Amino acid sequence: MSTAKELRELDDVKLTAKLDESRKELFSLRFKHATAQLENTRELGAVKKTIARILTIQQERQGA
């Protein structure tokens, strides 16, 4: 899980790459959850929060 401080230190290209990676991870976790292979369901929420943090940082940078 990435903190907002760590994410803010990334440049735009790396931040976009991290967003793509997180979305792929979320898809994978959802698939595992649907097939009852996911043991720790808290991972879903953590990845969703990371995606939300990245999107928030991108919105802040567009506004600046």
pLDDT tens readout for residues 7-44: 999 999 999 999 999 999 999 999 999 999 999 999 99
pTM above threshold 0.95: no
- The CA distance from 20 to 42, in Å, is 20
59 or 64, greater pLDDT: 59
Q: Which domains does the chain have, with CATH numbers?
A: 4-63 (1.10.287.310)
Q: In which band, very low, low, confident or very high, does the pLDDT at 3 lie, cut at 50, 70 and 90?
A: confident
pLDDT at 63: 87
Give alpha helix (H) positions in the chain: 4-8, 12-34, 42-63
- The CA distance from 42 to 54, in Å, is 19
Q: Which two tokens stand for residue 15?
A: 């931040």
Distance from the Cα of residue 6 to its chain's centroid: 13
What DSSP state is assigned to residue 39? S
Average pLDDT, rounded, for the chain? 94
